Amino acid sequence: MASDLVLEERRGAIVTLTLNRPEALNAFTPDLLSALEASLMRLETDRSVNVLIVTGAGRAFSAGIDLKHLSGGRVADGDVGGRFNDTARALAGRLSRLPQASIAKINGACFTGALEIALACDLRLAAEDAKFGDTHAKLGLRPTWGMSQRLPRAVGMMRAKELSFTARTFTGREAQDYGLVLEAVPRERLDARVEEIATAIAANSPGTVAAYKDLYAQADESGLEAGLAYEATRHYAIPDSADRVKALLAQIARR
């Protein structure tokens, strides 16, 4: 079971994890980050789960770090400190390495630390009127949860610099234009669209999805030649291949 800080809902092979501090716009505390990671740790070995969706309760995905929980309000050289860093880095790393596909369903505000966590998901979909921002520079903080590495990979280096240097707020529609989210849809359509994509993924081979995740990570972290060599030599256990090919051939034969 998930904690009160992270609600869990299962629909077949799809699990939705909901950040549950709506009164604080789901702002991150170390306990909330730890609760989310604990849920992921438990679910990543569950072979009945093919897709994990992360979202927020109420009107926000997450407002980012809860500044009231910084140690005494003091920040050394812009670093929020080990208590936050250790849990957030472990969470982002686990999200990025899950064998299952992960989707960030961004239903509202998604700022700074929350954006760093969303960037660790495979796919991101947002409400058109969701609000995004990297406010590190506005607060005199430095990124320590992956923003400097993941944001440029999502939107390109020059756009990443503009967003981080200005610390401006931008919409879900703009996030789609920048390539930060896969799609931005009207808020009332967000649940259905995420469910549609999650269902399509869940119907496919979980072993193949896990293999693709590993291979795409290799492509992201290495050059083309190294990535091609890795793809050619890496072995994966995908036990349902024969059954799926057989089913497709039978379907073709009936046409």
Task: Give the pLDDT confidence score for residue 202 in this predicted structure.
Answer: 98
- CA distances to 32, 102, 152 from 179, rounded to whole Å, are 28, 17, 10
Neighbours of 96 (CB within 10 A): 17
Instruction: Give the pLDDT confidence score for residue 2 in this predicted structure.
Output: 54
- Residue 73 confidence (pLDDT): 58
Q: What is the pLDDT of residue 1?
A: 46
* Phi, psi angle pair for 131, to nearest 5°: -115, 130
Q: What is the dihedral of CA 248, 251, 253, 255, to 10 degrees?
A: -140
Q: Would residue 122 be called left, alpha or beta, if left means φ above 0 and alpha means ψ between -120 and 50 degrees?
A: alpha
User: pLDDT tens digits, residue range 28-65?
Assistant: 999 999 999 999 999 999 999 999 999 999 999 999 99
HEC readout, the chain: CCCCCEEEEEECCEEEEEECCHHHCCCECHHHHHHHHHHHHHHCCCCCCCEEEEEECCCEEECCECHHHCHHHCCECCECCHHHHHHHHHHHHHHHHCCCEEEEEECCEEECHHHHHHHCCCEEEEECCCEEECCHHHHCCCCCCCHHHHHHHHHCHHHHHHHHHHCCCEEHHHHHHHCCCCEEECHHHHHHHHHHHHHHHHCCCHHHHHHHHHHHHHHHHCCHHHHHHHHHHCCCCCCCHHHHHHHHHHHHHCC
**pLDDT value of position 244:** 82
Pairing assessment for the beta strands 183-185 and 60-62 based on DSSP bridges = unpaired
Is the model's pTM score more than 0.85? yes
Please give the domain boundaries of the chain with CATH numbers for all domains.
6-202 (3.90.226.10), 210-253 (no CATH)
Structure confidence at residue 132 (pLDDT): 98
The pLDDT value recorded for residue 74 is 64
pLDDT digit string (tens) for the chain, length 255 residues: 457 999 999 999 999 999 999 999 999 999 999 999 999 999 999 999 999 999 999 999 999 999 888 755 567 788 888 889 999 999 999 999 999 999 999 999 999 999 999 999 999 999 999 999 999 999 888 999 999 999 999 999 999 999 999 999 999 999 999 999 999 999 999 999 999 999 999 999 999 999 999 999 998 888 877 877 887 888 888 888 888 888 888 988 998
User: Residue 184 has which token pair?
Assistant: 């931005």
Q: Indicate the burial class of 45 (C-beta count within 10 angstroms; 0-12, 13-18, 19 or more).
A: exposed
CB 140 within 8 A of CB 91: no
Give the model's pLDDT for residue 71: 57
